[in-house]
Amino acid sequence: MDFVVLTIVFLVYFVLVGYVGYLAWKRTKSSEDFMLAGRKTHPYIMALSYGATFISTAAIVGFGGVSGQFGMGILWLVFLNIFVGVFLAFVVLGKRTRKMGHNLGSMTFPEFLSRRFNSKFIQYFSGLIIFFGMPIYASVVLIGAARFMETTLFLDFHLSLIILSLIVSVYVIFGGIKGVMYTEAVQGTIMFLGMIFLLIFVYWALGGVETAHMSLTNMAPHFPASAQALGGTGWTTFPALGSEFWWYLVTTIIVGVGIGVLAQPQLAVRFMTVKSNKEINRAVLLGGLFIGVTVGTAYIVGALSNVYFFEHLGQIAVDVVGGNIDKIIPTFIGMALPEWFVYVFLLTLLAAAMSTLSSQYHAQGTSLGRDIYETLKGKKNIESVRLTRIGILIAVVLAFILSLVLPGSVVAQGTALFYGICAAAFLSVYLCALFWKRTTREGAIAGIVSGTFVSVFWLLFIFGRTAKGLGICQALTGQATLIPTMPWIAIDPIMFAVPISLILTIVVSLLTKPMPKEHIDKCYKGIANNEIANKKTVNKEIADEKV
Amino acid sequence: MILGIPDPWVLSGYIFTVLSVVLCVVYGIINWNKGDEEDSYLE
């Protein structure tokens, strides 16, 4: 690999991102511009921005590596990413969120829930969850990107942290959500083109779809003992029911990430950035294609790399990388693909990291500025943009400091922690807010608080991966987890926290006074009558055709 | 064996992935120009 060429490619990319960020800054005038892109985002930008935020480097390299070790069962996550994370999220939740968010004039996800339930508590409590939960997630992404610049550009790790923090913070602070979304559209395009080439190349190089899978199936006798010990059965077969890996795959990866995505504040806010349902309809096409190609490719290639490595080196992927599964995808690409593609792929990974990072900074900034500070002060719409910018700056500094001090065991759990807590806190209340008019303020508060506490408790004291990684349970009780037997240590918190939160939301709502009818009418204006309106439109079209 | 994958669980994951992409694409095409009339129609 030519270091000069790589440096030039990266510089061109940084200039392009900088230019797009500059355009965003020029087009940002009001707080609605800064937080919701003036509610007029183009569907291409909305779809790619959603996808690029959703898919970080960890999803490509990390889960791609999991696929290399354990096989293609993880494709169920891709299916849920597309069907739940795009189709249901956009069509069922997104359209309602957009309309209701507009009816209530809300600018952030916590503000959406707070206005829906007339509760300031919900706004600052949700803001606090985001502001204090997200820095760990952001620092994980930042560390990943900096490590990657360290190994590819031979830059010092600390210098890489500073460069990345500076570049991303400049366009987020000045360009607001437009800065975030415009640059994400550029980054998403790079990711899409890089990954689709990779997918086609790998199937072509291994003799076609069926032949490639067949070769992988025939390699079953070489399936690693390390994966078998945890319940893996082969690269093209599902893990043994009830084994440790089965629980991890099904509850943490497939349910936790696949369904938990619905309640991610930085993603849900995207629906409020478009003007009408037409943009959402178009974004479904682009978003589904984007997620399918980027994530699907990573997992298919991760598993199939075993075939390539075995044919050329006589070893399976895990052995080639010496057990560090994060290296499976990069090693495979370095060996099997043409040299020019290595540059494209490195750019793809950097783009994936920066796009996730920028949304995290923006979400934290709006949480601190608008959801926490302004709500507690009782002053709205006065200095939202300035306060949010300060919030973003604090978020950038926090992520930077955490990147320097966090131990590796915490880093490994950062993404799962934040995803899990968000899903537990928000998922059931968010769904009730959109679909159940009878939900009350007290019910919503009960749901958010119970979900948060059950999830945090389970993560710290029962769930093996996080409890052992964080070490808080060990320090307080002297044992690594409270219930050290299977399957409890292997079941993800989301499996308990979300149902408990949902039950409490429903029970407490039914026990308390319904919200005023005028308020519900305001929230659901243009929503409840949707179907009737659509039918009228269709009937009118049919009548017109007959004429 | 279909597509070289022996396990119905993994095979269904693969097929559902492809089908869900197709679903998004078809939905997007069918509704490409629908949805912008709603605001003026209802408000």
User: Is residue A16 exposed (0-12), middle (13-18) or buried (19+ Cβ within 10 Å)?
Assistant: middle
Average pLDDT over residues A70-93: 92
For chain B, the first-to-last Cα distance in angstroms comes to: 55
ipTM given for this complex: 0.90
Per-residue model confidence (pLDDT) at position B42: 39
Nearest CA among A215, A122, A125 for reference residue A442: A122
Average pLDDT over residues A59-83: 89
pLDDT-derived band at A121, boundaries 50, 70, 90: very high
Average pLDDT over residues A333-354: 88
Nearest CA among A335, A334, A498, A532 for reference residue A427: A498
The sign of the dihedral angle between the CA atoms of A521, A524, A525, A526 is negative
- Mutate which: A66, A75, A277, vs B, most B CBs within 10 A: A75
pLDDT-derived band at A538, boundaries 50, 70, 90: low
Average pLDDT over residues A181-194: 93
* Encoded tokens for A371: 């959801």
What average pLDDT is seen over chain A? 88
**What letter would DSSP give residue A27?**
T
* Encoded tokens for A471: 């070490």
pLDDT digits (tens, 9 = 90+) for B1-43: 789 898 999 999 999 999 999 999 999 999 998 887 555 333 3
Q: Which percentage of chain A shows pLDDT scores above 90?
A: 50
Nearest CA in chain B to A70: B10
Is B40 within 8 Å of chain A by CB? no
pLDDT digits (tens, 9 = 90+) for A18-50: 999 999 999 998 888 888 888 888 999 999 999
Nearby residues of B24 by Cβ (< 8 Å), 6 or more positions away:
A82, A86, A87, A284, A285, A287, A288, A289, A292
SS3 A290: helix
For chain B, the domains span: 1-29
Q: Which percentage of chain A shows pLDDT scores above 70?
A: 95
Which of A116-125, A377-386, A533-542 bottoms out in mean pLDDT, i.e. has the lowest?
A533-542
For chain A, the first-to-last Cα distance in angstroms comes to: 67
- 3-class DSSP string for A303-366: HHHHHHHHHHHCCCHHHHCCCCHHHHHHHHHHHHCCHHHHHHHHHHHHHHHHHHHHHHHHHHHH
> Which chain B residues are closer than 8 Å to A275 by Cβ?
36
Stronger pLDDT, A529 or A205, i.e. the higher one = A205
Stronger pLDDT, A50 or A379, i.e. the higher one = A50
pLDDT digits (tens, 9 = 90+) for A285-308: 999 999 999 999 999 999 999 999
Provide the 10 A C-beta neighbour count for residue A3. Answer: 10
The residue to which tokens 């026990």 are assigned: A511
Size of interface A-B (CB pairs under 8 A): 136
- Mutate which: A74, A203, A285, A291, vs B, most B CBs within 10 A: A285
- What's the rounded Cα separation, in Å, for the pair A44 and A426? 27
Contact A266, A363 (CB under 8 A): yes
Q: Which amino acid is at A545?
A: E
Q: Where are the beta strands (DSSP E) in A240-284?
A: none
Contact A226, A391 (CB under 8 A): no
Angle between helices A414-435 and A95-104 (to 10 degrees): 70
Stronger pLDDT, A462 or A469, i.e. the higher one = A462
Cβ separation A72–B10 shorter than 8 A? yes
Which of A231-240, A304-313, A468-477 bottoms out in mean pLDDT, i.e. has the lowest?
A468-477
Q: How many CA atoms lie within 13 A of A207 on its CB side?
A: 12
Cβ separation B10–A238 shorter than 8 A? yes
pLDDT digits (tens, 9 = 90+) for A207-264: 999 999 999 999 999 998 888 888 888 899 999 998 888 988 888 888 888 888 899 9
Per-residue model confidence (pLDDT) at position A536: 55
Per-residue model confidence (pLDDT) at position A535: 52
Cβ separation A78–B13 shorter than 8 A? yes
Length of chain B: 43
Per-residue model confidence (pLDDT) at position A292: 95
pLDDT-derived band at A280, boundaries 50, 70, 90: very high
Residue A448 has pLDDT above 50, yes or no: yes
Of B3, B10, B37, the CB nearest to A209: B3
Residue A4 has pLDDT above 90, yes or no: no
